[in-house]
C-alpha cells in the first residue's frame, strides 16, 4: 500500500527582486495587471508591491505581442485581474527568467499528510506529490510526514533504511517516492 503526502501552496509566494526605491528584496503580488494596447501591439504586466515601502514594479507578461496572436481567454483574464492567473504566471519559468526573479515560498505552503495511521507499520512506501513546483527539502518533508526528527531521518538515510530513487539531500520541487524500513 502506498501512502501519500501532498505539498500544496497555502498562498502566493513572495517575489525576490531588489526594490530600486528602498533596496528591500521582497515583493508581493498585487493581484492586478496592467494592459496597454497600441494599434495592433499589446503589452501586459503583473504589478507587484515592495513589502517594505509599497513601491509598485511591473513584471512583464506580454511584450509587444500582436493582439491577434494572444489567446482571447488570456486577454479576458488579464482584464479581469484573474487571481488564478497571478499564481500561474509566477510558477511559469519563462516569466521568471524574463523578469529575472525568483520566488520565496517560505510560509506559503503546507504538507498534507492525510492522517497518521501509517506510522506504526514496519515498512512504508510513500509517494510525495506536488500541486505546485515548490522547492523543499525532502528531509524536512519526510520528518514532518513520518513524525520523525530531522536527525532521525538523516540517520535512517545513512543506515540505508530510508531509500529513494532521487537524492534526498538538497531540495526537490517535483514528485518522488521513498521507502522507510524500521
Ligand atoms: Zn521598497
> What fold, for 2-9+108-181?
3.10.290
The span from the CA of 80 to the CA of 156, in Å, is 50
8 A C-beta contact, residue 3 and residue 126 = yes
Handedness of CA 144, 148, 151, 153 (dihedral sign): negative
How far, in whole angstroms, is CA 35 from its chain's centroid?
25
Q: What is the pLDDT of residues 125-151, one digit of tens each?
A: 999 999 999 999 999 999 999 989 999
Q: If you measure from the C-alpha of residue 113 to the centroid of ligand 1, how many angstroms do you get, rounded to a whole number?
A: 38
Distances (CA, A) of 159 to 63, 140, 153, 182: 53, 18, 10, 10
Confidence of residue 119 (pLDDT cuts 50, 70, 90): low
pLDDT of 174: 94
Query: What are the grid coordinates assigned to 136, written together?
Result: 523543499
Q: Which of 106, 116, 165 is nearest to 140 (CA)?
A: 106
Q: If you measure from the C-alpha of residue 142 to the centroid of ligand 1, how many angstroms do you get, rounded to a whole number?
A: 37
pLDDT of 114: 78
The span from the CA of 89 to the CA of 122, in Å, is 43
Q: What is the pLDDT of residues 67-115, one digit of tens each?
A: 999 999 999 999 999 989 999 999 999 999 999 999 999 999 999 987 6
Q: What is the pLDDT of residues 2-36, one digit of tens each?
A: 688 999 999 999 999 999 999 899 999 999 999 99
Q: If you measure from the C-alpha of residue 81 to the centroid of ligand 1, how many angstroms do you get, rounded to a whole number?
A: 23
Q: Which residues pair with 3 in a beta bridge?
A: 126
pLDDT of 140: 95
Q: If you measure from the C-alpha of residue 50 to the centroid of ligand 1, how many angstroms do you get, rounded to a whole number?
A: 5
Q: In a 3-state reduction of DSSP, which class is residue 76?
A: helix
Domain-by-domain residue ranges, the chain? 2-9+108-181, 18-100
pLDDT of 117: 62
pLDDT of 2: 66
pLDDT of 182: 80
Q: If you measure from the C-alpha of residue 4 to the centroid of ligand 1, how many angstroms do you get, rounded to a whole number?
A: 41
Give the pTM.
Answer: 0.84
Amino acid at each position: 500500500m502506498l501512502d501519500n503526502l501532498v505539498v500544496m501552496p497555502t498562498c502566493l509566494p513572495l517575489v525576490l527582486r531588489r526594490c530600486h526605491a528602498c533596496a528591500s528584496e521582497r515583493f508581493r503580488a498585487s493581484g492586478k495587471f496592467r494592459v496597454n494596447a497600441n494599434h495592433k501591439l499589446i503589452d501586459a504586466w503583473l504589478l507587484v508591491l515592495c513589502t517594505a515601502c509599497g513601491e509598485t514594479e511591473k513584471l512583464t507578461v506580454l511584450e509587444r505581442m500582436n493582439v491577434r496572436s494572444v489567446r482571447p481567454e488570456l486577454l479576458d483574464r488579464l482584464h479581469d485581474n484573474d487571481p488564478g492567473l497571478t499564481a500561474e504566471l509566477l510558477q511559469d519559468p519563462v516569466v521568471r527568467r524574463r523578469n529575472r526573479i525568483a520566488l520565496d515560498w517560505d510560509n506559503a505552503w503546507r504538507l498534507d499528510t492525510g492522517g497518521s495511521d501509517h506510522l506504526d507499520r514496519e515498512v512504508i512506501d510513500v509517494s510525495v506529490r506536488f500541486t505546485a513546483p515548490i522547492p523543499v527539502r525532502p528531509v524536512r518533508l519526510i520528518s514532518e510526514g513520518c513524525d520523525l526528527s530531522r536527525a532521525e531521518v538523516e540517520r535512517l538515510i545513512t543506515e540505508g533504511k530510508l531509500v529513494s530513487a532521487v537524492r534526498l539531500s538538497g531540495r526537490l520541487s517535483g514528485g518522488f517516492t521513498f521507502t522507510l524500513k524500521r
